[in-house]
């Protein structure tokens, strides 16, 4: 009898516990759904308030906003359009352009024609600045550099040209006439009589390289080496008759006016050009003091060592 009561009590407790669990679970989900519902209703109320606020805006404010938006779009579209008359800027020494009888107006006319004849050059998005630069450099080989810049705000592009500076007058073996070569190694022209030839070093090229106007057959470092030799010897009142680039060697032979010998310099050793010249000058002074005159050459190709014959 006592056992039955115990079992009934135990079962009753289990049922109550299960009911309490179910009630707790039910109340949790119920409160969660209530919160979600309240949040959704709050969002709907806010959206309704915003829509009502928009509807309450006066018609003239909506018209003004539309007008401002149209103005902004028109401004952006207008700003993307490029002028067909670019601004021309010439930097550097203009003596080269005067040598070739190329005036500012000729550069401007060529630039205007490139913009007007190209559909892609009408807007900032479609323009090819590289193509314009290439065409101008090909048409005017006396230019060392050409660049095109587009304004961030505005319609007129800017073309900047930098004339090349003549450095050497080269006579190439197997080719007739002489060639005017710039500091960057580019051939500016052939057979120019207007240029004061005595102001530039003369070089005889026996390497067989072909010189064509607009191309770059010589390296800027080789030209710089020759300029250093010419300037430093001139500073010592030593007159250079001519310079020769012999075939199948990286050598520069310099012939001195009034001397039976020539000087051999190493073009590969560009960084030691001044030291090679210093070696020759010291040897020249020694030979003069000792009344020795080489009959063939003085070799200054190795820094710190000299040979003569």
DSSP 83: P
Residues 194 and 270 in one domain: yes
- Percent pLDDT > 90 in the chain is 39
Nearest to 84 by CA among 115, 110, 124, 113: 115
pLDDT for the residue 1: 41
Helices 129-139 & 104-116 angle (0-180, nearest 10): 140
Residues 123 and 256 in one domain: no
Tell me if 7 is assigned to some domain.
Answer: no
Name the 3-class secondary structure at 281.
helix
**Does residue 46 have a pLDDT over 70?**
no
Degrees, nearest 5: CA angle 83-85-87: 105
Residues 170 and 298 in one domain: yes
Name the 3-class secondary structure at 153.
coil
pLDDT for the residue 144: 85
- Summary mean pLDDT of the chain: 81
Q: Residue 267 corresponds to which tokens in the numbers above? A: 């073009």
Q: Residue 296 corresponds to which tokens in the numbers above? A: 């063939």
Residues 177 and 158 in one domain: no
- Letter string b/e over residues 148-183, b meaning 16 or more CB atoms within 10 A of that residue's CB: beeeeeebebebebbbbebbbbbbbeebeebbbbbe
Tell me if 1 is assigned to some domain.
Answer: no
Residues 128 and 174 in one domain: no
Cβ atoms 85, 113 nearer than 8 A: no
Average pLDDT score over residue span 69-79: 79
pLDDT for the residue 41: 60
Rounded-to-integer distance, Cα 298 and Cα 260, Å: 11
pLDDT digits (tens, 9 = 90+) for 208-264: 899 998 889 999 999 999 999 999 999 999 999 999 999 988 999 999 999 999 999
Nearest to 287 by CA among 261, 269, 251: 261
Phi/psi of residue 70, nearest 5 degrees: -65, -40
The arrangement of strands across the sheet holding 87-90 comes to: 87-90, 158-163, 143-149
Residues 131 and 34 in one domain: no
The residue assigned the tokens 């007739």 is 176
| Residue with more model confidence, 257 or 62 | 257
pLDDT digits (tens, 9 = 90+) for 127-153: 999 999 999 988 888 888 899 999 988
Residues 201 and 267 in one domain: yes
Residues 133 and 205 in one domain: no
- Percent pLDDT > 70 in the chain is 75
pLDDT for the residue 33: 54
Q: Residue 53 corresponds to which tokens in the numbers above? A: 């606020």
Rounded-to-integer distance, Cα 62 and Cα 114, Å: 45
The CATH number of residue 153's host domain is 3.10.20
pLDDT digits (tens, 9 = 90+) for 177-223: 889 899 989 898 886 655 555 678 889 999 989 999 888 999 999 99
Average pLDDT score over residue span 267-278: 88
Rounded-to-integer distance, Cα 248 and Cα 208, Å: 9
Residues 154 and 219 in one domain: no
Residues 150 and 41 in one domain: no
Tell me if 11 is assigned to some domain.
Answer: no
Rounded-to-integer distance, Cα 164 and Cα 142, Å: 6
Tell me if 4 is assigned to some domain.
Answer: no
Average pLDDT score over residue span 266-294: 90
pLDDT for the residue 173: 85
Residue 127's domain comprises 87-163
Report the 3 state secondary structure along 106-142: HHHHHHHHHHHCCHHHHECCCCCHHHHHHHHHHHCCC
Residues 91 and 131 in one domain: yes
Phi/psi of residue 89, nearest 5 degrees: -125, 125
Residues 253 and 238 in one domain: yes
Polymer length of the chain: 309
Q: Given 25, 55, 78, which residue is the final one in a domain?
A: 78
Tell me if 64 is assigned to some domain.
Answer: yes
| Residue with more model confidence, 151 or 62 | 151
The arrangement of strands across the sheet holding 297-299 comes to: 187-190, 179-182, 166-172, 202-205, 240-245, 251-256, 262-266, 297-299, 307-308
Going by pLDDT thresholds of 50, 70 and 90, the confidence category of residue 65 is confident
Name the domain count of the chain: 3
Phi/psi of residue 84, nearest 5 degrees: -90, 5
**Does residue 268 have a pLDDT over 50?**
yes
pLDDT digits (tens, 9 = 90+) for 8-35: 555 455 554 554 444 444 454 455 555 5
pLDDT for the residue 88: 92
Q: Answer yes or no: pTM beyond 0.85.
A: no
Degrees, nearest 5: CA angle 90-93-95: 105
Tell me if 206 is assigned to some domain.
Answer: yes
């Amino acid at each position: 009898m006592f056992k039955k009561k115990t079992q009934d009590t135990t079962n009753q407790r289990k049922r109550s516990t299960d009911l309490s669990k179910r009630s707790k679970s039910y109340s949790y989900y119920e409160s969660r759904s209530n919160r979600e519902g309240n949040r959704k209703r709050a969002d709907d109320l806010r959206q309704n308030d915003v829509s009502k606020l928009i509807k309450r805006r006066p018609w003239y404010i909506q018209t003004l906003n539309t007008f401002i938006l149209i103005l902004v779009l028109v401004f952006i579209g207008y700003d993307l359009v490029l002028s067909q008359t670019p601004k021309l800027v010439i930097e550097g020494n203009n003596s080269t352009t005067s040598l070739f009888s190329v005036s500012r107006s000729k550069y401007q006319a060529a630039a205007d024609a490139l913009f007007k004849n190209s559909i892609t050059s009408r807007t900032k998005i479609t323009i090819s600045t590289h193509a314009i630069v290439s065409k101008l450099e090909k048409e005017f080989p006396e230019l060392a550099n050409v660049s095109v810049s587009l304004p961030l705000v505005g319609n007129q592009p800017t073309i900047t040209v930098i004339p090349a500076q003549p450095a050497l007058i080269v006579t190439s073996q197997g080719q007739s006439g002489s060639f005017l070569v710039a500091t960057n190694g580019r051939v500016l022209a052939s057979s120019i009589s207007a240029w004061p030839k005595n102001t530039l070093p003369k070089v005889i090229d026996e390497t067989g390289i072909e010189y064509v106007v607009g191309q770059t057959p010589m390296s800027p470092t080789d030209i710089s080496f020759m300029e250093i030799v010419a300037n430093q010897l001139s500073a010592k009142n030593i007159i250079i008759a001519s310079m020769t680039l012999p075939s199948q060697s990286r050598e520069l032979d310099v012939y001195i006016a009034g001397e039976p010998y020539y000087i051999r310099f190493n073009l590969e050793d560009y960084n030691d050009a001044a030291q090679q010249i210093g070696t020759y000058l010291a040897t020249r002074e020694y030979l003069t003091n000792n009344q020795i005159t080489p009959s063939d050459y003085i070799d200054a190709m190795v820094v710190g060592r000299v040979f003569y014959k």
